[in-house]
């Protein structure tokens, strides 16, 4: 720890007594790592320094064109001739560059597309398979019509309607975009088509008229897409709408990360830039279309077979996705434009699905409790719990529900991005080389990294473990202060740091440390979560010991060590058997709503039944929160 090389030097934070050379900060998204480099170094150098592996077949000679990145912010050297050969002017203008060619001229932020990352990040796509009866809102009808002649001049839609009537199918509505290629398909397919008919209204006449949302060949299966869009990650599932089976799964980082770690910064970005909201929406659609391509390829199907989709996300993501205004979401009192369920035409969003496919968005509860939480309550059955049940999904924002005897109380707390690796000195997302588990024993510090690689940073479960172990070993006090005389405590601005792994053992040649500030970030985060749980219990007149089931959903929730979480006081001290770690339950809920109209009805009920508790104006919140921050 004698040199400051490679350590994070923020604008306000300088190492005292250190000789300061000019260094540029390179923020690498979506992995969430930062490197400091000297002027003249390339982006590829920066990535290597940060332990982020960018594909570089030619080793940085500018020959392979694989190290494709995109400039989000800041300035780079002008494109080299290698780059002008690789990219067209429009791409160059949009910031596309080769990492081995481009050199920062100041602090920059870079977006690394998935194809340029040599090892994928760990994405959470697993979750319980759904166990609901298959009854989707879109069903198939095969129909063959009499060809048109000069003696039979009925229009194509009338011809189809008449043929459907013979099968006792009521006159359908034809969705506008479907009409754009219906006539061509009828003729190409020799007047035989498989129609995807969508139920238009649940509670209307006994024989409700359906809506034609897709026109397929008679042998093509009807498919559906379920997507869970998190602030950081996206998970997508391709399902067969007839069997209800999941055919393919895929995950990807949320590309909006480049515009802000959390939704509040993204809303601020959208407010500052004239078409910021549309840009953020467009980036989402690009990535979703990539996911759709990937799923279709894996399952050997075409995107035209995907006749229905369900998308869940928090309220801000929901609004960005649907193109809704977000300004009022970012300012007190944080009002959602819409909380009711929505059906949006995929073609108007720019999603590559069947021409008339609709995207169903389940209801939101409030500005900071979104459709993903509703989906989670649905998938875990928490919403109908009779015995006290807590269900939460930890993220930058943590949504918590307490259900008991048919009542549901929900709240949202700003737990911050610490568990995503942000605001943590050596923090990173759950990618290869991230420390995920830590044990401090008498013989020293034991760490486990994702992929078993030499450590380059710490992800959420790793930092949680570290703090719990430091506390158990007495290296930090209840307030979060370090014991100053422990041999692994090194001097560090703002209260010292704990040396988790010395430079010799790490993947990037730097000491891996956990600072006093890092511990404080975790205290703030875990305190907010615990306070949310406690306030809901207060509202329901219960105590922590009354909790029968404690459901932990989401990616971080799957990997976190429950004992560590209890030891640092993030979760109440309940017997471990009362806890359930359910994985991506929001994704499971989305899949259930994709294959079952009944599940949508229930989701709408949940949306209406939840009573939202606004923590910031709750009389007990501040005191509970202050108390919950102790370790």
Site residues (vs its own copies, CB under 8 A): 148-158, 174, 176, 179-184, 187, 204, 322-325, 327-328, 332-340, 342, 344-345, 348, 364, 366-367, 612, 614, 616-617
CB of 319 to its own copies, least distance (A): 9
- The answer for residues whose C-beta is within 8 angstroms of residue 60's C-beta and 6 or more apart is 42, 44, 67, 100
CB of 89 to its own copies, least distance (A): 12
CB of 334 to its own copies, least distance (A): 7
Minimum CB distance to its own copies smaller for 209 or for 217? 209
β-strands 611-612, 407-413 pairing: parallel
Minimum CB distance to its own copies smaller for 35 or for 324? 324
CB 360 within 8 A of CB 226: no
Minimum CB distance to its own copies smaller for 173 or for 630? 173
Instruction: Give 616's DSSP letter.
Output: G
Classify 515 as helix, strand or coil.
Answer: strand
Distance (Å, whole) CA 77 – CA 24: 13
CB of 92 to its own copies, least distance (A): 17
CB of 344 to its own copies, least distance (A): 6
Classify 492 as helix, strand or coil.
Answer: coil
CA distances from 90 to 86, 194, 259, 278, 415 (A): 12, 41, 21, 19, 40
CB of 359 to its own copies, least distance (A): 11
CB of 538 to its own copies, least distance (A): 18
Minimum CB distance to its own copies smaller for 115 or for 150? 150
Minimum CB distance to its own copies smaller for 155 or for 622? 155
Minimum CB distance to its own copies smaller for 19 or for 151? 151
CB of 397 to its own copies, least distance (A): 15
CB of 599 to its own copies, least distance (A): 22
Q: Within 13 Å and on the Cβ side, how many CA atoms surround 375?
A: 38
User: What is the DSSP annotation of 236-288?
Assistant: EEEEETTT--EEEEEEEE-GGGGG-SSHHHHHHHHHHSTTHHHHHHHHHHHHH
Q: 109 φ, ψ to 5°?
A: -125, 130
For Cα atoms 487, 492, 495, give the angle at the middle one, nearest 5 degrees: 85
Order of strands across the sheet that contains 489-490? 489-490, 497-501, 512-515
Classify 32 as helix, strand or coil.
Answer: coil
Segments of 274-374 assigned E as strands: 306-313, 342-345, 358-361
The widest CA-to-CA distance across the chain, in whole angstroms, is 98
Distance (Å, whole) CA 524 – CA 404: 28
If phi > 0 it is left, if psi is from -120 to 50 it is alpha, else beta; for residue 561 that is beta
CB of 539 to its own copies, least distance (A): 15
CB of 384 to its own copies, least distance (A): 23
Classify 509 as helix, strand or coil.
Answer: coil
Minimum CB distance to its own copies smaller for 61 or for 335? 335
Minimum CB distance to its own copies smaller for 504 or for 617? 617
Number of H helices, E strands in the chain: 17, 27
Minimum CB distance to its own copies smaller for 414 or for 566? 414
CB 252 within 8 A of CB 123: yes
CB 397 within 8 A of CB 366: no
CA distances from 392 to 43, 412, 583 (A): 39, 10, 11
Distance (Å, whole) CA 293 – CA 274: 30
Minimum CB distance to its own copies smaller for 14 or for 611? 611
Minimum CB distance to its own copies smaller for 15 or for 179? 179
Alpha-carbon Rg of the chain, whole angstroms? Answer: 27
CB of 328 to its own copies, least distance (A): 5
β-strands 246-253, 233-240 pairing: antiparallel
Distance of CA 52 to the CA centre of its chain: 20
Minimum CB distance to its own copies smaller for 350 or for 509? 350
β-strands 108-111, 24-29 pairing: parallel
CB of 408 to its own copies, least distance (A): 16
CB of 608 to its own copies, least distance (A): 10
Distance (Å, whole) CA 178 – CA 200: 15
CB of 412 to its own copies, least distance (A): 11
Distance (Å, whole) CA 146 – CA 149: 9
CB 258 within 8 A of CB 111: yes
Minimum CB distance to its own copies smaller for 34 or for 266? 266
CB of 367 to its own copies, least distance (A): 7
């Amino acid at each position: 720890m004698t040199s400051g090389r490679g350590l994070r030097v923020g604008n306000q934070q300088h190492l005292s007594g250190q000789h300061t050379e000019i260094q540029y900060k390179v923020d690498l998204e979506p992995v969430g790592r930062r490197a400091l480099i000297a002027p003249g170094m390339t982006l590829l150098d920066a990535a290597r320094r940060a332990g982020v592996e960018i594909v570089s077949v030619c080793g940085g000679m500018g020959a392979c064109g694989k190290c494709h990145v995109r400039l989000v912010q800041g300035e780079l050297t002008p494109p080299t001739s290698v780059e002008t050969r690789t990219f067209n002017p429009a791409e160059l203008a949009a910031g596309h560059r080769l990492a081995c060619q481009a050199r920062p001229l100041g602090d920059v932020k870079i977006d690394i597309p998935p194809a340029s990352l040599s090892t994928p990040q760990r994405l959470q796509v697993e979750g319980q398979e759904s166990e609901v009866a298959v009854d989707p809102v879109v069903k198939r009808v095969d129909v063959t019509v009499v060809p048109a002649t000069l003696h039979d001049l009925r229009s194509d839609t009338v011809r189809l309607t008449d043929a459907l009537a013979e099968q006792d199918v009521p006159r359908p509505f034809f969705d506008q975009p479907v009409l754009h290629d219906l006539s061509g398909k009828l003729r190409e397919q020799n007047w035989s088509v498989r129609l995807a008919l969508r139920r238009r209204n649940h509670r209307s006449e006994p024989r409700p008229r359906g809506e034609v949302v897709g026109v397929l060949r008679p042998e093509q299966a009807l498919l559906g897409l379920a997507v869970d869009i998190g602030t950081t990650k996206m998970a997508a599932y391709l399902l067969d709408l007839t069997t209800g089976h999941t055919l393919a799964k895929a995950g990807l980082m949320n590309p909006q990360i480049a515009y802000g770690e959390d939704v509040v910064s993204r809303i601020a970005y959208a407010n500052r830039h004239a078409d910021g909201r549309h840009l953020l929406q467009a980036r989402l659609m690009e990535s979703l279309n990539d996911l759709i391509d990937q799923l279709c390829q894996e399952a050997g199907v075409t995107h035209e077979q995907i006749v229905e989709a369900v998308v869940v996300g928090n309220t801000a993501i929901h609004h960005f996705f649907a193109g809704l205004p977000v300004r009022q979401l970012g300012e007190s009192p944080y009002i959602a434009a819409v909380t009711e369920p929505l059906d949006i035409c995929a073609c108007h969003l720019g999603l590559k699905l069947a021409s008339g496919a609709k995207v169903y968005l389940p209801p939101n509860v409030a500005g900071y409790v979104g459709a993903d939480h509703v989906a989670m309550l649905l998938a875990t059955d928490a919403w109908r719990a009779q015995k006290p049940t807590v269900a939460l999904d930890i993220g930058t924002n943590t949504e918590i529900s307490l259900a008991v005897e048919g009542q549901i109380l929900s709240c949202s707390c700003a737990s911050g991005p610490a568990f995503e690796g942000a605001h943590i000195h050596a923090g990173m997302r759950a990618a290869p080389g991230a420390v995920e588990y830590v044990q401090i024993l008498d013989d020293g510090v034991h760490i486990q990294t994702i992929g078993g690689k030499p450590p380059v940073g710490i992800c959420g479960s790793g930092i949680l473990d570290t703090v719990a172990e430091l506390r158990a070993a007495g290296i930090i006090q209840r307030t979060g202060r370090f014991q100053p005389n422990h041999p692994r405590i090194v001097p560090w601005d703002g209260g010292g740091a704990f040396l988790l792994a010395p430079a010799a053992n790490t993947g990037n040649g730097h000491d891996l440390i956990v600072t006093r500030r890092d511990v404080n970030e975790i205290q703030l985060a875990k305190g907010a979560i615990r306070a949310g749980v406690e306030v809901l219990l207060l509202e329901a007149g219960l105590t922590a010991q009354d909790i029968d089931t404690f459901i932990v959903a989401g990616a971080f929730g799957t990997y976190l060590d429950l004992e560590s979480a209890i030891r640092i006081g993030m979760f109440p001290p309940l017997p471990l058997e009362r806890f359930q770690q359910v994985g991506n339950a929001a994704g499971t809920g989305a899949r259930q709503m994709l294959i079952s109209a009944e599940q949508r009805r229930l989701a709408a009920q949940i949306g209406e039944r939840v009573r939202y508790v606004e923590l910031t104006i709750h009389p007990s919140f501040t005191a509970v929160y202050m108390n919950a921050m102790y370790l």
